[in-house]
Structure 1
Amino acid sequence: MNILATKNAPGAIGPYSQGYEANGLVFTSGQIPVDPATGDIPAGIAAQAEQSCKNVGAILEAAGVGYDQVVKTTCFLADMGDFAAFNEVYARYFVSKPARSCVAVKDLPKGVLCEVEAIAVKG
């Protein structure tokens, strides 16, 4: 098992890793839309979805896999009213259409509008 870490995604804000690789699978922790270079959070669901997807991609890249190897995502929205706008951005990254769960939650860390996590297969 390998812990994944990259400076191209935000560091963990708690007792967890950015991601893990085990038995040919890559698991990313949920990624909120924090710009890893500045610590800033963009405004609006489209910009936040974009940054969350980029952060997931950075962890996947650290594991040597791409978006096309993702088999499952879980997406969290602060407001299900953002579903269509979120999907528009999400669809540009996860073009292989992995299995997905998308739920609305009461709150997300730092008051963000979305969070995305992924499971990918190596090889």
Structure 2
Amino acid sequence: MQRSVISSPSAPRAIGPDSQAVQCRAMLYVSGQLPLNPETMTLAKGFEAQAEQVFHNLSAVLAKAGMDSREVAKLTISLANLDRFAMLNIIMERYFVASYPARAAIETSRLPKSALIEIDVVAVETANA
């Protein structure tokens, strides 16, 4: 099986023993991205800025793999406060267009670095993207 590690300098480096993403043939598995500035490794301030930073980081990893948001099949979103779900939807519409990927959103008691949001994705390389 073909398997390769994807790493983009335009996304934050892993803070644990994991890779930014792993590609297995047409499938790309992107590790949970935190709202960290890749240059300073500091958190963005406030929920909206953190969500934007996470999507920016995800876009950088996807681009390194030669993909974009049109190839995202599934997102798993962890939120420190599910009351921010409506704002999340507004921000997601800036990055995705119909047809939207599948998604799960859960509230969690704590995220690494005390972030307000973390998102991981599964993308599928397509010829039509």
Q: With the length of structure 2 as denominator, give the TM-score of the two structures.
A: 0.92
Query: What do the CA deviations read for 1:9-28 (whole angstroms, capped 9, x no partner)?
Result: 00001010000100211110
Partner residue in 1 for 2:72: 70
Partner residue in 1 for 2:102: 99
Gaps of 5+ in 2: none
- 1:1-123 equivalences under 5 Å are 1-95=3-97, 96-123=99-126
- Count of residues paired in the alignment: 123
The range that moved more, 92-101 or 16-25, is 92-101
- Aligned-partner Cα distance in 2 for 1:112–1:25: 27
Query: What do the CA deviations read for 1:59-104 (whole angstroms, capped 9, x no partner)?
Result: 1011000001111111010001111112211221122410000000
SS, match of residue 29 in structure 1: strand
Q: With the length of structure 1 as denominator, give the TM-score of the two structures.
A: 0.96
RMSD: 0.9
Pair member with larger Rg: 2
- Aligned-partner Cα distance in 1 for 2:14–2:96: 23
- Aligned-partner Cα distance in 1 for 2:16–2:41: 16
